[in-house]
Amino acid sequence: MAKRLDADVCSLYLCGSDLDRLTLRATVGLRRDAVGNVVLRLDEGLVGLAAERMEPVVIDRASEHPRYKYFPETGEERFESFMAAPLIVRNVPIGVLAVQTVNVRRFEQGDVETLLTCAQLLMPVVLNAQLIDAAGLPLLEEQRVAVDEELAQHGIPITGVKPARAGGGIELAGIGTARGIAIGPVSKLGQMDLERMEYTPSSSVEQEERDLMQAVHDARRELDDTGEEMGEQFGPDFAAVFNTHIQILEDKGFLAKLKEAVRAERDGLAALRGVLAVYRKQFERIADPYFRERAWDVEDVGRRVMARLLGVRHDTAPLPEGAVVVVDNILPGYFARLDLEKVGAIISEHGGPTSHGAIFARTLEIPAISGIAGVLDACRPGELAIVDGDEGKVYFSPDEHLVGEYERAQQRAAVAIQHLDAMRARPAETRDGRRIRLSANVGLVSDLRLVEQHGADGIGLFRTELPVLAHRGFPDEYEQEQLYERVARAVAPRSVTIRTLDLGGDKDIAEFGVENEENPQLGCRSIRLSLEEEGVFRAQLRAILRASVGGNVRLMLPMVSSLPELRQAKRVIEVARGELDDAGHAYDRDIPIGLMIEVPSAALTADALARECDFFSIGTNDLTQYTLAVDRTNEHVAHLYTPLHPAVLALIDASGRAARRAGIPVSLCGEMAGNPLAVPILVGLGIEELSGTPSGVPVIKEIVHALDAGEAEAAARVARDAGTAEEVHAIGGRVLREAGLLDHADIGGWLRPIVEKAERGVA
């Protein structure tokens, strides 16, 4: 809190059982020996004032306030400004969270709201702790649920756990990382607590180093076997992740750090823990969530080495049919250890949608939810669980009514998927005959089967940075060519649009030695980085060109922001062409070269760009972020991130009009392409191709079939002139309702809550 609010002090004062005195219980910034020794009545001091009033207290010059009370043991005489928020239960204050600054400061309303939110989140933690302390015993599961229910009845938010449901069940919320519904018994897959296991290092530091290096060697051999097995079972993408883990163990820098640490610590286990901690901190500093979650790869590798050093094995108990597997994090190694035929769903305490484990779950179409704090403690092995990967919710010990609801939803989903996939050969065409191409965004070869299964019209975006990451560096030119050629052949004669590397300065790829940047999203990333590293860029271009020999490949440049940038990239492409000509290699000489509209400057100069390229693809994820100045991974502002903002629609419209004036095709990729509320508006704006997740294609196809292009155009004109994102959502919802989609046999039940939420004015 001190760091977040740029404060010099943050302190927590708590009431005892008598509820009339506050004691300093924790602090950053005040003297530590004051903790437990500073006690004041509720009618004393500014801290007491916050508790007494049961509302925030914000004072610029604290020492001049009549309620100011100086406690010499805290050393707080040098702090001027003061802000405090009470912790309240059933209209009774149980504590105060306070911050102070050395310099006089006027706290903003946002600061006050942040402090209030944190106080609310702390309150159930404090209350539970006090109840446990009072009893002198740990709470039983039933008691903990009762406490949570009591708090919830009084409007107090509880992170993760919601009120107890009928029948004693509980509901938890997390991040839906793989869609689908599962109902089955809980099976906990707890990690062996390697951190607490006893270990006696060798008396000789040389022997200790040999033991640690032997553990590394054994872990590497184990990974070799696992990668080979996973490759045979699921394809090369799964094997590539384990190859990544092997490369971590072969990394000279990693090994050098281990050897240096073991010589300093004289303890292999301590050395390994220390090196892993350093790597963990480095990854935590990365802004991009996909690359930040690679920390779990290092963690997975480290645990393998640790287990080998300790001489323990990871044995997994047999799973019941349809098991809901509960883990700390969805690690790639689990997919090798588990009987996947028996896995109904996977839920985890940590991790996000871009971890390798989450990607595996999506590829295998196993429903998954991550980021549910406390889930391992909240569930019991064998109890029934419902996992809703669409909504990111899990229910433990649900009542019969809820089970019945989800069983019917499961059945409807199965019928709908079967019906929609059976119709995959139908083109996506509006009622009045406008054809819309529905393509897929993919980054792994294993995604290709989903492209076929769900009837996508081709690949609208192939992300080349994912294979790069799997190698922890760049595959050589020949490997890249083989990959791109394989993808092109798999979807032929349909087209595949291959995007050149979309990497940023924060993504820590060794070949790009870019220094850490304060704001990497506005720094040397994507096409800028490729142009700076021309040798690597040309190698990738040659690989794409050689893979284009079949005539169904398009080449796309990411994040082009100006005409000079486009021209510079095209000059490099011409150099790559010349190199292939000199070597006598065949390629498609008419390969279309396009660019992504991802920044406002590109959308606003789209006419000039359109005259010098062959197609546009509008990347709404970054376009939204840059237009609204919102980092969607920042929890404090993520609620402001909405692609259906009128400003974003205006830039999409401007880009589409420029493309049509130049006579070039325009597509749209990003999460917006799979948003049902956005589809009518995008069709109305004249977007010819939507590219999203493969599994979303059948649903979007049904929406397109129900639309009238003329009516969609009228709705798009109104949406473009709207003042708020909420208005745009309501317009999209109205079109879906009037098209009869809420009564659609296959997708009506899924669309109804989305439309009703939009009609209530919730973006």
d(CA 28, CA 9): 5
Burial class of residue 273 (count of CB atoms within 10 Å of its CB; 0-12, 13-18, 19+): middle
User: Among 384, 363, 519, which residue's Cα sits nearest to residue 443?
Assistant: 363
How many CB atoms lie under 10 A from the CB of residue 155? 8
Rounded to the nearest 10 degrees, the angle between the axes of helix 748-759 and helix 725-738 is: 140
Give 343's DSSP letter.
E
575 phi/psi in degrees, rounded to 5:
-65, -45
The sign of the CA dihedral 700, 632, 685, 666 is negative
Contact in structure between 488 and 548 (CB atoms under 8 Å)? yes
Contact in structure between 622 and 601 (CB atoms under 8 Å)? no
Q: Strand 393-396 relative to strand 39-41: parallel, antiparallel, unpaired?
A: unpaired
Contact in structure between 309 and 271 (CB atoms under 8 Å)? no
Helix (H) or strand (E) holding 748: helix 748-759
User: Among 545, 543, 633, 640, which residue's Cα sits nearest to residue 587?
Assistant: 545
Q: Strand 496-499 relative to strand 323-327: parallel, antiparallel, unpaired?
A: unpaired
Contact in structure between 463 and 455 (CB atoms under 8 Å)? no
Residues assigned a catalytic role: 356, 669
As a whole number of Å, the CA-based R_g of the chain is 29
- DSSP letter string over 155-205? T---SSB-PPPTTS-EEEE-EEEE--EEEEEEEE-PPP-GGGS-----SSH
d(CA 197, CA 535): 49
Distance (Å) of CA 171 to CA 190, 370, 744? 21, 14, 29
Burial class of residue 364 (count of CB atoms within 10 Å of its CB; 0-12, 13-18, 19+): middle
User: Among 730, 671, 668, which residue's Cα sits nearest to residue 436?
Assistant: 668
Which of 384-416 are b and which e, b meaning 16 or more Cβ less than 10 Å from the residue's Cβ? ebbbbbbebbbbbbbeeebbeebeebeebbeeb
How many CB atoms lie under 10 A from the CB of residue 465? 20
Q: Side chain identity at 622, as an amino acid letter?
A: D
Contact in structure between 547 and 485 (CB atoms under 8 Å)? yes
